[in-house]
Amino acid sequence: MTPTTAKNRADGEALHTGTVDALLARFATSPSAGLTSIEAKARLERLGENVLPKATKPSALRQFLGQFANPIVGTLVVAGVVAVINGAGNTSDSFLTRWGDAISIILIVVLNAVLGYVQERRAEAALDALEKMQSPAARVRRDDDLRVVEAREVVEGDVIELEAGDAIPADARLIQSVDLAVEESALTGESVPATKDARAELAEDAPLGDRATMLFVGTSVVRGKARALVVATATRTELGKLSTLMSAPTDAKTPLEERLDAFGKRILWGCLALSALIFVWGLFLAKETWQQVLLGSVSLAVAAIPEGLPAITTITLALGMQRMSRRGAIVRKLAAVETLGSATVICTDKTGTLTQNEMTVREVFCGGRAYHVTGTGYAADGEIRNEDASVADIEYAPLRHLLASVALANTAKLEADADGMRRVIGDPTEGALLTLSEKGGLPKESILPSHKLLREIPFDSDRKRMTVVTLDAEGSEIVHTKGSCDVLLPLCVHVELEDGIVPLSEVSRAEIQAEADRMSAKALRVLAVARREITRKSLDDADADADADAGEGGVDIEQRLRFVGLVGMIDPPRVGVKEAVRECAEAQVRAVMITGDHKLTAVAIARELGIWDEGAIALTGSELAALDDAGLAARIDATRVFARVTAEQKLRIVKAFKARGHVVAMTGDGVNDAPALREAHIGIAMGKNGTDVARAAADMVLADDNFATIVHAVREGRAIWRNIQKFIFFLLSSNAGLVVAVLGTSLVPSLPPFRPIMILWINLVTNGLPALALGIDPPDASQMMEPPRKTSDGLLGGREYLGIGIVGLVMGAIGIGCYVWPWEVSAGVDRVAYGRAIAFSLLALSPLFHAFSCRSATRSIVSLRPAWSRPLVLAVLASGAIHLVAVVVPALRTVFQTYGMPLVHWGVLVALSVSIVPVVELSKLLQRMRVVGADLGPMSRKR
């Protein structure tokens, strides 16, 4: 017994199996009169309104304060506080000298918080008002009268009336039903409408999608009429239970957030250790004043912290978010932009995600001929083609009769929406048949004027067929029947072939059944079509016989039929999905289908799209339920299709993949996908056809509902990760030079320390623009041929840290050399202060040249393509010009304590700044030689 069955019982029986009389007695209501208004009001007060709780969103203040929850930002805040204390204790200097450091640090912290807050609020605004799953109104029986009330006022015990097009306002048990079919794909994942029958006999453990006696909120009626008893409202509905599941998983951090947090903590502890060293040295060994010690400690902390890292990371992710938005992917959380780049598994729903959620006829068999139908969905831009791909002859009588019958025995309508896209009003299967007749040049509108509808016998689950009788322009009465092949074929005695109408032999029956089996093996839904010309007398006699037998009207009419043909249809894959799946495979990202549809259909679609590979297996929901966690873990890496699964099982599947160390992306559009969307590292919902609940649970929404957009997102995520590595390496290696220079000069009491505002200027103004340019460096085409990075990988590896050490030692040593060099200065200029000013400019300009080497960790500058990154060139020129302003403008010299320099000194300064490039390029060359040597060594030994 499933948990859902155990919770929904009436008088000892499950709701879907209990008798209607028992349920009516339990809810104290009448099937005709319904509840009284007084009782309905009392129940509304006791049980509450029929609405789902909205997801709690963080307040604007909380979301803004959340931007400060970062170790690097926290360290900057502490440095800012120390700078404030230092400024307050230094009353002899000017305002800018006292408070410039503190103001600069605080501005950087606030700027980063504002950038992150604005981008995330924009995304929330674009996806606001996402809880609209319940219908706005419902028709209920109250006080022995039919009334229209708001859906929120529906209570348990209400008797509701439903017909085609109605949204179901609450979970309900059928009392009466006539030819009822309900679209449940948003809840169960099945693309074909579920047939409902108040009289159906079900097992207690019947899965949700097989409960033919039940209706569920969030679904809609596509055909027929019904009267039903409301048995659950609000959070007690199946949809409500899903909202409870959604609240269970906590908001886990993305891999990037985890790595940045770990990275920030290491920087934090390193800053504390270095600052403590300087504090102890200055206060106890060098005997400096506490103000000098604080200034030195803050200077070192500011030098060690890459202040631009939070802001540049935020801007890089925000720009990536905007690029993805232009491609149709709306990202709700900045850090999620990069997560897809590390995804190893994409768990994707089938209906509406991989497929169009529009039934389409693929194959036709009639008159002994097989036809292929082009085009997908409800657009009539396809053709019916022969086996040799030539256009079919519509004048061929069997084909023409088939097209006419499927159009006439049809209650659906096709309408164009505001975007010009056609949608079906009614059963999607009948919509596919209408489209087929249009592709064959016989739209229903062209047939109706010559056919008068005399009688209609609707489809029901017992007969498994539908029949209409029409009177044509020549006065002939024609029976048009469509239904299941195994039911309709035994009712046929003739078959229409190229040579005319002939008796249906056993050989012909076997051939037709074999063709139906062939279509079914391809996961096509097969319908048989038959006709019969009758006289008025035979029609009257049939009615009389039916009345006399008290049987189902039309039984005799549906005898002695002429078999016309078979129609095979399927919910086809979306255009571009197959190519997207192939690109994911090349990027070593595994696509796994998770669906509520049948196993045979799911595997067929998986094969067609390339998801299914050698050694793959498929598991159904019942098979999954029989497995414990260890059994699932042993099979999950080989499983490519999960079919007929529940929402709880989707959640379990995602957790199982995560337990195996995978970075999981989950796509979906239905209500049943929402809990798994939240549990996944990144949830991806459909924007057009997706439900509001799914969009609210997702980290990313595909505005165009195109699975192929995910491939662009994977590519963008990998490019962002690579670029983040580039600018982190650039910032840390440049900061390492600052740390070496600041630490080295701090150990010499006679040398005044670098001021924090100098270091902030270098870190933010001169280094900030090149770092940002590296963040938008063009992606490398080869990155989509590489495997996803491991979850255990850090932001940087040992090779990068070695490079940071080399750059830091070289750049810092040159900076210290500039500081202590006996420069020739003008009269009245302090030689030591002049040396510090030159060192300041060296540490500001050297990273600008170093940035070009940071575009690749291994490849030389001359081998990169494109050879020059335009954003980086512009950023370097702009940063260099800005620094010149700080040196040349007299008013700013007092702020940064710089001096005018002769051209000779400028020449020496630029030459020393450029010298970092050959050092880094030589380091890369040695690394490449070591890798090549390691590769050639075993080969040479084999030889």
Catalytic machinery residues: 349
CA distance 897 to 464: 91
Q: How far is CA 290 from CA 274, 278, 281, 717, 743, in A?
A: 17, 12, 12, 47, 17
Within 8 A by CB and 6+ apart from 517, the residues are none
Judge whether 278 and 297 are in contact, CB under 8 Å.
yes
Q: 466 forms bridges with which residues in the sheet?
A: 482
The two structure tokens encoding residue 917: 């490039």
* φ, ψ at 61 (rounded to 5°): -65, -45
Q: Is 764 exposed, middle or buried (0-12, 13-18, 19+ CB in 10 A)?
A: buried
Helices (H), 8-70: 20-26, 37-47, 60-66
- Which SS3 state, helix, strand or coil, does residue 253 take? coil
Contacts of 337 (CB under 8 A, 6+ apart): 317, 320, 321, 324, 331, 716, 717, 720
Q: Looking up tokens 């995602």, which residue turns up?
A: 654
d(CA 856, CA 370): 58
Residue with tokens 């690109």: 583
Q: Closest by alpha carbon to 88, among 251, 300, 290? A: 290
Return the HEC string of 607-671.
Answer: HHHCCCCCCCEEEEHHHHHCCCHHHHHHHCCCEEEEECCCHHHHHHHHHHHHHCCCCEEEEECCH
Nearest CA among 50, 241, 39, 47 for reference residue 154:
50
What is the rounded CA–CA span in Å between residue 154 and residue 215? 14
Please tell me the distance from the alpha carbon of residue 470 to that of residue 452, in angstroms, as a whole number: 5
What does DSSP assign to residue 791?
Answer: T
Q: Would you tell me how many other CB atoms lie within 10 Å of the CB of residue 320? A: 24
Question: Hey, what are 4's tokens?
Answer: 């859902």
Element (H, E) at 194: strand 194-196
Name 854's Cβ contacts closer than 8 Å, sequence gap at least 6.
726, 727, 729, 730, 733, 774
> What's 204-217 look like in SS3?
CCCCHHHCCCEECC
Q: Is the Cβ–Cβ distance between 101 and 298 less than 8 Å?
A: yes
Cα 370 to its chain centre, rounded Å, is: 40
Half-sphere exposure of 416 (CA within 13 A, CB side): 5
Phi and psi (nearest 5°) for 516?
A: -65, -40
Angle at CA of residue 658, ends 652 and 660, nearest 5°: 110
Residue environment code for 270-288, b if the CB has 16+ CB neighbours within 10 A, otherwise e:
ebeebbeebbebbbeebeb
DSSP structural state of residue 753: P
H helices of 381-443, in order, are 397-408, 428-439
Strands 590-594 and 345-348: parallel
